[in-house]
Amino acid sequence: MTAEQIIFLLTGALVLVSALMVVTVRNLLHAALWLVVALFGVAVLYAILQANFLAVVQVVVYIGAIAILFIFAVMLTRREAMEKGRQTRNNWWIPALLGLTILTGLAVLILSFPGVQRTEAVLPAGLDTVQALGTALVSPDAYVLPFEVASVLMLAALVGAVYIATVDKK
Amino acid sequence: MTFWNNPINFIGYWLNGILTGWHLPAAIASILLYVIGIIVLILFAMTLDIGLVWVERKVVARFQDRLGPNRIGPFGLIQPVADIIKMVIKEDITPDGADKIIYNVAPVLAATSVIVLWAILPLASTIYGVDLNVGLLFIVAAGALGTLAIIMAGWSSNNKYALLGAFRMVSNMISYEIPMVIILLIPTILANTMSVRGITQAQSGMWFAILSPLALLIFLISAIAELGRSPFDLNEAESEIVAGFHIEYTGMKFGWFYAGELLHAFTFGGFIAILFFGGYGGFFGLEKLAVLTWLNIPFVQALVFIAKATFGYWVIMWIKYSVPRIRIDHMLAFNWKFLVPLSLVVLVNTATLNKVLIVLPNWLYVLGMFGSNIVIGYATIEILRAYGRKQRKAEKIPEPQAHTQEQAV
């Protein structure tokens, strides 16, 4: 086993354990912090795959913005509300069954994919992945259309948020 | 390569020679060297931090017309050591109802979020931790961890003041991150890379501070906001919420927050030097002259970098101790209605002119970039002045007028 595989297994275990903790701990703030750990683990996985840009963006967006807003909202809830009440519903087995089915289906699908056993070619030395990504995002024969459509969608969401938040002056 | 020219790499090669001489496999030897390098870098940063305590206290004393520490050692130089001994032996109190684990992890995370920044800080052309191709985003990511530490501290202390401090920090960070990220794109555009080392090398001919002085100004403001220093120190505003997020921390746990804050300020002084003043280089091509080739020696470069970083740190201290704290609604309005639009204008201007003017001779390119920034700055001031006049007219406040001595009497 190489050092990379050991790091991958440890990180994978960390992500799984912390993801499990997110849904099982009673204290909502602890759940949010476990979520941060899980998201950080995913960033480490990206870093192992040499996707530096994705790894850093994962930390900036998911930990720096989304998780912090989660925590911000959770801090405004009362403590008593978190520590009482049941954690499961009567029909918990339906989503469990659905989840298991989807997991099996995905696993079968991925294992039947011919590329799953292939080892990816090593990136040529001196390739600037960030530059390649930037060029791909704006070149017409790559991703310029999806990129622009996503931008318009984001802009619409921004305008919508501002509209909802505006106090009506009458 | 001799010891005095390039001490760090010299010791590195020497140690590598010893380790492989012990018949260690090359892979293990290089991992060991990395670990030693990390420890040395952290020790260097923390030792510098002890000195910064003295510098900060002496400089604030000068700004406030006092003497500052002057009892222990010459010029009070041993004062920080005494401070540390005091902090370590103070009683460590965990408040009732505190969330113990989070409460204890928060100071460590706060200091870590600063120390990780040193991984990408190039001290000289050969002395740097790692040359990430996403270096600038790494700065933002480390800032996110710092925010997380402050939230954890504020919430886990089980104290209303601490919680208020954490709330303020979140609104501060979430908003000032935006102009900072936009402004970080300007060195990226000018240098064609996000690597911190690449940006330093791109400035060997001309500092980005001259190509885009407005970007430097906006980066300085948002860096101070990110540091949570005055005038943006609402997260610990001692006259309102006592000490904010670190109110319950005693002894060395408080010490970690304090040390982290000082080192953070110095590190951002370093980033200002790297992004806008050429970092360890940026001698305008002078280093190519035969009499000045000693400027290329890594040891000299490191000294130049430390000097530039100290200057940035000094400017941050200067602002901290001269400007009063601003109200939170003013702070948010200043960010969203002024800094964000202005930084977007500067970004569009830089991106366009950089492509248009690059065909011109170098001096015209520099003049054009500098001139466009001056024009934008002047237009901004005029717009602000017109807006202020309109507001005063609406609220019937008399226009401020310059009085001569006789009129005042």
pLDDT digits (tens, 9 = 90+) for A14-66: 999 999 988 888 878 888 889 999 999 999 999 888 888 888 888 888 888 88
Chain B interface disruption, residue of A42, A49, A56, A75, most B CBs within 10 A: A56
* Preceding amide of A146 cis, omega within 30: no
What are B16's two structure tokens? 């590598």
Reported as half-sphere exposure (CB side, CA atoms, 13 A), residue B137 has a value of: 17
Domain shared by A5 and A76, yes or no: yes
Do B186 and B346 touch, CB atoms closer than 8 A?
A: yes
pLDDT at B126 over 80: no
Average pLDDT, integer, range B75-93: 85
pLDDT of B407 reads 56
Those residues whose C-beta lies under 8 Å from the C-beta of residue B61, and which sit 6 or more positions away, are: B67, B68, B69
Please tell me whether residues A78 and A140 are part of one structural domain: no
The answer to whether residue A82 scores a pLDDT higher than 70 is: no
Q: Where are the beta strands (DSSP E) in chain A?
A: none
- The residues, ordered by sequence, that sit 6+ positions from B295 with a Cβ below 8 Å of its Cβ are B283, B286, B287, B301, B304
Contact yes or no for A31/A22 (Cβ under 8 A): yes
Q: How far apart are CA B309 and CA B104, in angstroms?
A: 31
Contact assessment for residue A11 and residue A41, using Cβ atoms and an 8 Å cutoff: yes
State the pLDDT confidence band at B230, using cuts at 50, 70 and 90: confident
Is A128 touching B (CB cutoff 8 A)? Answer: yes
Amino acid at B38: I
Task: Note whether B262 and B83 are within 8 A (CB).
Answer: no
Confidence of residue A71 (pLDDT cuts 50, 70, 90): confident
For residue B265, pLDDT over 60 is answered with yes
Tracing tokens 């969203």 back to the chain, one arrives at: B336
CB contact under 8 A, B148 and A67: yes
- Same domain for A79 and A138, yes or no, is no
Task: Provide the pLDDT for residue A97.
Answer: 94
Q: Using an 8 Å Cβ cutoff, are B119 and B130 in contact?
A: yes
Residue A148 and residue A81 share a domain: no
Give B-chain residues touching A33 at CB under 8 angstroms.
102, 152
CB atoms within 10 A of CB B345: 14
Which contacts qualify for B361-367: CB closer than 8 Å, 24 or more apart?
Answer: B362/B205, B362/B206, B366/B206, B366/B210, B366/B211
Mean pLDDT, residues B75-89: 85
What is the mean pLDDT of the segment spanning A124-137?
79
Please report the pLDDT score of residue B261 as a whole number. Answer: 86
Domain identity same for B302 and B154: yes
Q: What whole-number distance in Å separates Cα of residue B98 and Cα of residue A7?
A: 34
Q: Decide if B252 is inside a domain.
A: yes
Find the closest chain B residue to A59 by CA distance.
Answer: B141
User: Which pair of tokens denotes residue B107?
Assistant: 């100071």
The most confident of A104-108, A137-141, B330-334, by mean pLDDT: A104-108
Q: Min CA distance, A86 vs chain B (Å)?
A: 22
- ipTM (interface predicted TM): 0.77
- Choosing from B89, B109, B131, the residue where a domain stops is B89
What pLDDT is attached to residue B56?
87
- Asked if the structure places residue B409 within a domain, the reply is no
Residue B284 contacts residue B366 (beta carbons within 8 Å): no
Say what percent of chain B tops pLDDT 90: 9
Two structure tokens written together for A37: 């750990």
Q: Phi/psi zone of residue B192: left (φ > 0), alpha (ψ -120 to 50 degrees), beta?
A: left
Name the more confident of B240 and B83.
B83
d(CA B128, CA B131): 7
**DSSP 8-state code for residue A64:** I
Residues within 8 A of B (CB atoms), A 39-78 only: 52-53, 56-57, 59-60, 63-65, 67-69, 71-72, 75
**B342-377: pLDDT as tens digits:** 999 999 998 888 888 888 788 888 888 888 898 999
B221, B339 Cβ separation under 8 angstroms: yes
B133 and B282 in a single domain? The answer is yes
Overall number of domains in chain B: 2
End-to-end C-alpha distance for chain A, whole angstroms? 70
Q: Answer whether B193 sits within 8 Å of A52, measured CB to CB.
A: no
- Average pLDDT value for residue range B387-404: 79
Mean pLDDT of B241-252: 80
Q: What mean pLDDT comes out for the span B140-152? A: 86
Is B134 in contact with A63 (Cβ distance < 8 A)?
Answer: no
Task: Indicate whether B80 and B42 sit together in one domain.
Answer: yes
Distance from CA of A55 to the nearest CA of B (A): 10
Kindly identify which residue of chain A lies nearest to residue B143, measuring between CA atoms: A64
B12 or B409, greater pLDDT: B12
Q: How far is CA A45 from the centre of its chain?
A: 12
Give the pLDDT band of residue A169 (cuts 50, 70, 90).
low
Indicate whether B65 and B137 sit together in one domain: no
Whether B151 is covered by a domain: the verdict is yes
pLDDT of A80 above 60: no
Ramachandran assignment for B6, one of left (phi > 0), alpha (psi -120 to 50 degrees), beta (any other): beta
Domain that holds residue A155: 130-170
Note whether residue B385 is domain-resident: no
- Considering A64, A85, A106, which residue would you say is the last residue of a domain? A85
Q: Is the dihedral angle over the CA atoms B321, B120, B127, B30 positive or is it negative?
A: positive
Q: Rg for chain B (alpha carbons), in Å?
A: 24
DSSP letter assigned to residue B129: S
pLDDT at B247 (0 to 100): 80
Residue B241 sits in the same domain as residue B104: yes
What's the number of domains chain A is made of?
A: 2
> CB B247: neighbour CB atoms within 10 A?
22
| d(CA A170, nearest CA chain B) in Å | 19
Same domain membership, residue B107 and residue B74: no
Residue A75 is predicted with a pLDDT of 76
What's the CA gap between B302 and B310, in Å, rounded?
A: 12
C-alpha distances in Å from residue A94, one per residue of A88, A89, A100, A101: 12, 10, 10, 11
pLDDT at position B51 is 85
| A16 or B174, higher pLDDT | A16
CA distance A65 to chain B (A): 7
Query: Does B373 map to a domain?
Result: no
Binning chain B into helix, strand and coil, the percentages to the nearest 5 are 75, 0, 25
Chain B residues whose beta carbon lies within 8 Å of the beta carbon of residue A75:
151, 155, 163, 166-167
**Do residue B151 and residue A65 have CB atoms under 8 angstroms apart?**
no
Closest residue of A to B167, CA-based? Answer: A72
Helix axes B251-276, B213-227, angle to 10 degrees: 170
Which residues between 14 and 43 in chain A have a beta carbon less than 8 angstroms from any beta carbon of chain B? 29-30, 33, 36
Establish if A113 belongs to a structural domain: no
Reported pTM = 0.85
- Is the domain of A74 the same as that of A136? no
Rounded to whole angstroms, the Cα distance separating B338 from B344 reads 10
What is the dihedral sign for C-alpha A82, A85, A87, A89? negative
Last residue of a domain, one of B89, B106, B137: B89
Which residue do the tokens 């969330």 mark?
Answer: B99
> How many interface pairs between A and B have CB atoms less than 8 angstroms apart?
66
Contact B276, B219 (CB under 8 A): yes
Paired tokens of B315? 């400017």
Q: Closest Cα to residue B206, out of B218, B191, B216? A: B191
Same domain, B235 and B353: yes
Domain membership of residue B161 as a residue range: 92-357
B328 belongs to a structural domain: yes
Question: Are the beta carbons of A64 and B102 separated by less than 8 Å?
Answer: no
Residues of A in contact with B32 (CB under 8 A): none
Domain check: are B110 and B25 in the same one?
Answer: no
Collect all residues of chain A within an 8 Å Cβ-Cβ radius of residue B174. Answer: 65, 68-69
Does residue A103 register a pLDDT over 90? yes
Contact criterion met (CB < 8 Å) for B134 and A36: no
Going by C-beta distance under 8 Å and a sequence separation of 6 or more, which residues neighbour residue B256? B107, B108, B110, B111
Cβ of A128 within 8 Å of Cβ of B155? The answer is no
Largest CA distance in chain A: 70
Residues of B in contact with A30 (CB under 8 A): 102
CATH of the domain at A31: 1.20.120.1200
**Closest partner residue to A60 among B141, B170, B194, by Cβ?**
B141
CB contact under 8 A, B174 and A68: yes
Chain B nearest-CA distance from A141, in A, is 22
Reply yes or no on whether the pLDDT at B80 is more than 60: yes
A64, B147: Cβ pair inside 8 Å?
yes
In a domain, A115, yes or no: no
For residue A22, being part of any structural domain is answered with yes
Rounded Cα gap, residues A162 and B401, in angstroms: 39
Final residue in a domain of this structure, among B357, B372, B393: B357
Give A119 to chain B, closest Cα distance, Å: 23
Nearest to A64 among B99, B133, B140 (CB): B140
Say yes or no for a CB contact (<8 Å) between A56 and B170.
no
- Say if residues B351 and B372 touch (Cβ distance below 8 Å): no
pLDDT for the residue numbered B72: 80
CA distance B209 to chain A (A): 24
Residue at token pair 């960390």: A14
Using an 8 Å CB-CB cutoff, list residues of chain B that contact chain A.
99, 102, 132-134, 137-138, 140-141, 143-145, 147-148, 151-152, 155, 163, 166-167, 170, 173-174, 177, 193-194
Residue with tokens 């970004």: B347
